[in-house]
Structure 1
Amino acid sequence: NLFRRRMKIHFTENPENPTRKGGVAIVLNKQLTNWHNIQTKVVIPGQALLIKTRWHGDKDIIILGVYAPNVSLNDSKESAEFFSALHNFFMEHPEWRPDYMGGDMNFV
């Protein structure tokens, strides 16, 4: 398979509905990255995923992928809880603070 030879995919799916909604994936090109010995940490299942790998020899890089809940004018509680949970995680695990973050923040 062409994709299997070239890409390494790390993901977390929505535990309540793994094939339909939510989920986060971080895709690494095997030819351009050090994809061996990657550490992964699911912060919030289906919504926040961290990977840590070597970058430029002896340096580590940590990447956070997020899929935040949708925010509506009437209900922002779920989004606030999500970002609060992220904040709490990084306060408890400072060694996992990301260098880069990407994904869907769902701010509209």
Structure 2
Amino acid sequence: MKEGTYYAVIFTSLKKPDDEGYAEMAQKMVDLAREQPGFLDVESARDEIGITVSYWKDLESIAAWKVNLDHQKAQARGIKDWYQWYRVRICRVEREYSR
């Protein structure tokens, strides 16, 4: 992904049974995030509980994404219509390896 440290935003959620429009908005947000300065990558898995991890160059990039107007609209809709609960964690990644 990138050498050195970077940041992960871990978004964990449980959706409500009626999630009409959720998949389309989720894809729109991934596409929009990819255009943001400092965005590195995203990984997502959804079964009963969904986990999306986005990776960012620095905390300033995360803060800018948090206040993006389209992202704020999606967040408000998520709170109102889609999520029973959610949790956001921001972590510093100091190293990674893979096989």
TM-score strictly above 0.5: no
Higher radius of gyration, 1 or 2? 1
**Structure with a larger share of its residues in helix:** 2
TM-score (norm 1): 0.28
TM-score (norm 2): 0.30
* Structure with bigger RCO (C-alpha 8 Å, 6+ apart): 2
